Amino acid sequence: MNVVCEFDRRNTMEENQPIWIQDILKKGKMLTIDFFMIMKTLAWKYEGDNEKVLEPLISYLAYYGDNMIFAFEDKMAELLYSLDTYEIASKCMGDPTQFSSDEFLYTRCVALINGRSYYNAILKGKKSLPKDSDYEDILYVPMKAWARLHVENMEKYSHISPISYETFSNKDGWKDCPW
């Protein structure tokens, strides 16, 4: 009986994938357009049940392995970091001294799940994020994908993105803040 391990199957499989996926798997880096292409796997027919909406994305990332998972997290962090500005916060949240940093982070996640056009409109100031909305669950997708891939507990996930998505981490984005 000839058994092919999962690692070998993925290496063979890479050759049959679109070039943009091969590039991510090889370099461990993802372009913004790639991120939003992958976000199209979300199952919006289950809107209202975040776990079911996110399930195809988690499966997709786990299928392609660590490089895809880590590249996704790094790009997500970069995109959230770009939205971490005083201008965007004050438009949707009002006075920055009157909201929690977590609240603004979870609100910024809404820009990611709504696609590239929506994200760009927020970034360019053409739209405002809705104040009382959040999609915190997207932050846990990389951990869940990794845990599924490695059959481990999510808490053992150890990848740390080089960019922080936490609110106020984008120093340039907050330089105009009056306090």
Domain boundaries in the chain? 6-167
Whether the predicted pLDDT of 12 surpasses 50: no
Q: What is the pLDDT of residue 131?
A: 83
What are the tens digits of pLDDT across the range 66-87?
A: 999 999 999 999 999 999 999 9
Q: What is the pLDDT of residue 95?
A: 80
What are the contacts of 49-52 at 24+ separation with CB within 8 A?
50/135, 50/137, 51/137
Which of the four pLDDT bands, split at 50, 70 and 90, describes residue 4?
very low
Among residues 153, 145, 137, 118, the alpha carbon closest in space to that of 56 is found at 145
Which of the four pLDDT bands, split at 50, 70 and 90, describes residue 14?
low
CA distance 72 to 93: 27
Q: What is the pLDDT of residue 72?
A: 98
Segment 101-111 shows an average pLDDT of 96
Residue the block writes with tokens 């922080």: 164
Q: What is the mean pLDDT of the chain?
A: 91
Segment 153-176 shows an average pLDDT of 95
CA distance 41 to 122: 22
